[in-house]
Amino acid sequence: ARKYVLAKHFEGAPKESDLKIVEEELPPLKDGEFLAEAVYLSVDPYMRAYAYKLPLGETMVGTQIAKITESKNKNFPAGKYVVGKFDWRTHTISTGDTGTNQGPASHPPYIVPDFGELPLSYALGVLGMPGTTAYFGFLEICQPKPGETVIITAAAGAVGSIVGQIAKIKGCRVIGVTGSNEKGQYLMDNFGFDGYVNYKCDDIEQQLEKVAPEGIDCYFDNVAGEISSKIIKYMKMFGRISVCGSISSYNTNVNTPPKVSCVQLHMLRKQLRMQGFQNYLFYNRSFEGINQNLQWVKEGKLKYTETVTQGFENMTKAFIEMLEGKNIGKAIVKV
């Protein structure tokens, strides 16, 4: 068995040398345990934000889809696939009660439900955590109404691309903010977005005025920082902001966050509502989100893209590339 451990704490953008692969011997199974072999592993932005809490030498945190190869636990029989927070490992022994104990709160391991013809890997994306984050984080916090204008940052990523399509399903006008014109065009051509803003250009305000001349009702914020301050300026009266992530600050030192413009005056004048959320708040309703997304995928209303990196030995590369924005849709690794 192999796993990734933290060799050096990240400073700025993660480097290949910050993580290293080590071998581990696994003991024989005890009663109540099962052995699972990783098939797909997820690389997510929170791993960058969370890693400063991990002691050096600790296994890198993460969720995976694994095949149960041996079992002494009747709820997790051999041959089934399980989603678990088993970290960056090729093989895991679990009791099924919780994931490994490092990392942010996570769903206990569960057998991958029957998705019919759909790929197994969707359980790490649209039919898993990013899908439920998009579903609950958008619908519960933004409370969108038909005809409203919705803007999403990191719009071409796992969560953002799903939020945009849910907003379309709900009858909204949807603008995606992303780091390249190619990605923006992709959103319009493939996911039905109505427009995009390229945040890497210096004319962001002009772009916003053009794509949302009447202002923005709902903002799903994956990014924070200066682009968020600019977007908030364009919100309409009583607009709602769902704070899902802050990826623009993940590579900075936690104690010295980036300086951004003051948004309070806009919040005050327009009487905006801004609310943060964590997907674990909705764990008891996870399958409500997964089942709804599954239905939309089957009906062709929710399209889904993955960026797949081959090989466990390329996990760090996949992680770095996702943070650099090389992915469209969910970034995963196939063992």
Is position 178 an interface residue for ligand NDP (rule: CB under 6 A)? yes
Is position 309 an interface residue for ligand NDP (rule: CB under 6 A)? no
> Smallest distance from the beta carbon of 307 to ligand NDP, in angstroms?
8
Stretch that binds ligand NDP, among 52-60, 62-70, 174-182, 293-301 (CB under 6 A): 174-182
**What would you measure as the largest C-alpha separation in the chain, in angstroms?**
64
Site string for ligand NDP, 120-139 (x = CB under 6 A): ----------x--x------
Identify the bridge partners of residue 332 per DSSP, sorted by sequence position.
42, 308
| Spatial distance between the Cα atoms of 117 and 115, rounded to a whole number of angstroms | 6
- The secondary structure of 110-141 as a DSSP string is EEPP--TTS-GGGGGTTTSHHHHHHHHHHHHH
Write out the binding residues for ligand NDP, residues 200-239 only, by CB under 6 A. Answer: 222-223
Is position 164 an interface residue for ligand NDP (rule: CB under 6 A)? no
Please count the other Cβ atoms lying within 10 Å of the Cβ belonging to residue 145.
Answer: 11
Site string for ligand NDP, 38-77 (x = CB under 6 A): ------xxx-------------------------------
- The secondary structure of 250-297 as a DSSP string is TTS-TTSPPP----HHHHHHHT-EEEE--GGGGGGGHHHHHHHHHHHH
Q: Residues 300-318, buried b or exposed e (16+ Cβ, 10 A)?
A: eebebbbbebeebeebbeb
Stretch that binds ligand NDP, among 72-80, 92-100, 167-175, 243-251 (CB under 6 A): 243-251
**Radius of gyration in angstroms for the set of CA atoms belonging to the chain, rounded to a whole number:** 20
Write out the binding residues for ligand NDP, residues 262-281 only, by CB under 6 A. Answer: 277-279
- Nearest residue to 5 (alpha-carbon basis) of 51, 64, 44: 51
Stretch that binds ligand NDP, among 27-35, 72-80, 263-271, 325-333 (CB under 6 A): 325-333
Q: Is the dihedral of CA 222, 153, 144, 205 positive or negative?
A: positive
> Smallest distance from the beta carbon of 229 to ligand NDP, in angstroms?
13
Tell me which H or E stretch contains 46: helix 45-50
- The secondary structure of 210-258 as a DSSP string is HH-TT-EEEEEESS-HHHHHHHHHTEEEEEEEEE---GGGTTS-TTSPP
Is position 183 an interface residue for ligand NDP (rule: CB under 6 A)? yes
Among positions 51, 158, 232, 335, the unique one binding ligand NDP when judged by CB under 6 A:
158
The count of C-alpha atoms lying within 13 angstroms of the C-alpha of 174, restricted to the half-sphere facing its C-beta, is 30
Is position 156 an interface residue for ligand NDP (rule: CB under 6 A)? yes
Please identify, using beta-carbon distances, which residue of 76 and 137 lies nearer to ligand NDP: 137
| Spatial distance between the Cα atoms of 254 and 250, rounded to a whole number of angstroms | 8
Number of residues in contact with ligand NDP, rule: CB under 6 A?
31
Please identify, using beta-carbon distances, which residue of 35 and 323 lies nearer to ligand NDP: 323
Stretch that binds ligand NDP, among 15-23, 175-183, 253-261, 288-296 (CB under 6 A): 175-183
Among positions 59, 106, 248, 286, the unique one binding ligand NDP when judged by CB under 6 A:
248
Q: Which amino acid is at 32?
A: G
DSSP 8-state assignment for residue 7: S
Stretch that binds ligand NDP, among 29-37, 253-261, 296-304, 321-329 (CB under 6 A): 321-329
Is position 179 an interface residue for ligand NDP (rule: CB under 6 A)? yes
- Nearest residue to 196 (alpha-carbon basis) of 184, 213, 204, 214: 184
Stretch that binds ligand NDP, among 233-241, 255-263, 285-293, 322-330 (CB under 6 A): 322-330
Binding site for ligand NDP (CB under 6 A): 44-46, 130, 133, 154, 156-160, 178-180, 183, 199, 222-223, 244-248, 277-279, 322-323, 325, 327, 331
